[in-house]
Amino acid sequence: MFEVFQVHDENSGTFFQLECLKMFDLNRQNGISCLRFTPDGRFLIITCHKDIVIFNAQSEEFEKVGLLKGNNQRVNALQFDKASMYAMSNAVDGSVTCW
């Protein structure tokens, strides 16, 4: 029950594969809507429907280090401040959540 993602690192110009347990939506009703690295490159953030999953991008295994819940609708955009301290998610209902 793994899903493989191919991710492009714009800084180095290389591609790498990330295997993730299908923890997002086992019924496959909702796909991944956003996949972003924090500006400092420490974390990979993946959103699926209303949930935001945080992975340690500096570990070889990309271990899951957090889960953010609180959006009322599907997340369609995710943005970070330059220092990678805060994130803002925008949902399809127009709401913005600051993390």
In order of 23, 79, 98, the CA distances from 88 in angstroms are 22, 5, 4
How far apart CA 7 and CA 4 sit, in angstroms, is: 10
If you search the block for the tokens 């996949």, which residue do you land on? 35
Q: Which domain holds residue 17?
A: 2-98
Token readout for 34 is: 């956003």
Number of domains composing the chain: 1
What is the pLDDT confidence band of residue 86, given thresholds at 50, 70 and 90?
Answer: very high
Q: Which sign does the torsion angle of CA 24, 74, 86, 35 carry?
A: positive
Q: Note the pLDDT tens digit of each residue in 43-68.
A: 988 887 788 888 888 887 778 888 88
Task: Check if the beta carbon of residue 20 is closer than 8 Å to that of residue 14.
Answer: no
Q: Is the pTM of this model over 0.95?
A: no
